[in-house]
Amino acid sequence: MTRAAQDHLVEAAFESVEDVRSAVEAALESGVAASQVEVRSPAPLEEDELPLPKPKSRVLLFALAGAVLGGLTAFGLAAGTALAYPLPTGGMSIVAGPPVGVVTYEGTALGLIIMTVLRVLWEGGLLPGRAIRGGRGRASELDHHVANGRLLLRVHGLSEEQAGRLRGLSRASAVEVV
């Protein structure tokens, strides 16, 4: 079978999570792989509400890396400026604890915050130029349903027969199917 023949897309908007779950279960039973299924929702869903693989995130890891990076940079700035232009300290240390501590503390927080946000945008495909695999995240003509509180099921890479069957199954409970 050619790639074009396997490239049908079915989209259906539903009122409730139960309806989407039924449609997803039907799709999986008909031989559709979980990686072909995408559900868009107006609010976060619980992890076990749909029979799909749980999304993974490395935001925490990147946040910690950002904190370390930010802390080291801030320490370098505070200590480096003190050493680059030493002020008369009356015998006290040039690189003093309180100022370096305060600046390092703020730098750590800043690094953590910026890296967290960047990673969230990266994982969500929200950064400019970020490639979106398999048509995921692309605009849909049914997106307005999500804006109005409904759920949207999108199944990619279907054969014509699979697409027709899925459309038929979805029509029973969906608000709109394309």
Partner 1 sequence: MTDRPQASARALDGELLGRLDRRRSGLLVGSLASGVLVLVFFYCWGYQIANGIGVTGINRPVFWGFYIINFVFWIGISHAGTLISAILRVTKAEWRRPVTRSAEAITLFALAIGGLFPLIHLGRVAIFYYMIPYPNSRMLWPNFRSPLVWDIAAITTYIIGSALYLFLPLIPDAAVMRDRAAAGLKKRFYAVLALGWRGTAQQWHSLEWGIRILAVAIIPVAVSVHTIVSWDFAMTQTPGWKSTIFGPYFVVGAIFSGIAVLMIAMALLRRGLALDRFLTDRVFNNLGLLFVTMSLVWGYFTFAEHLTVWYSGDLFEKNVHHVLLHGDFAVPFWTMVVVNLVIPVAVLSFPRGRRPLPTALVGCGVLVGMWLERFLIVVPALSTPRLAYSIGDYLPSWVELGIMIGAIGVFACLYFTFTQLLPIVSVWEMREGWRHAAGGGESGQPSGAAPASPAAASPVAGGGAA
Task: Report the interface residues with partner 1, using CB under 8 A.
Answer: 15-18, 38-46, 50, 52, 54-57, 59-60, 63, 74, 77-78, 80-82, 84-85, 87, 96, 99-100, 102-103, 105-107, 109-110, 112-114, 116-117, 119-121, 123-127, 136-140, 143-150, 152
- Shortest CB 6 distance to partner 1, Å: 22
- Minimum CB distance to partner 1, residue 162 (Å): 21
Three-state DSSP class for 11? strand
Work out the angle at residue 39's Cα, subtended by the Cα atoms of residues 37 and 40, and round it to the nearest 5 degrees: 145
CB atoms within 10 A of CB 89: 11
Nearer to partner 1, 50 or 158 (CB): 50
Nearest alpha-carbon partner for 134 in 5, 38, 26, 27: 38
**Pick 149 or 164: Cβ nearer partner 1:** 149
CB 19 within 8 A of CB 173: yes
Nearer to partner 1, 106 or 159 (CB): 106
Nearer to partner 1, 2 or 85 (CB): 85
For the bound state, the minimum distance from the C-beta of residue 136 to partner 1, rounded and expressed in Å, comes to 6
Closest approach, Cβ 109 to partner 1, in A, equals: 5
What angle do the packed helices 97-123 and 59-84 form, to 10 degrees? 150
Residue 2: phi and psi, rounded to 5, are -75, 165
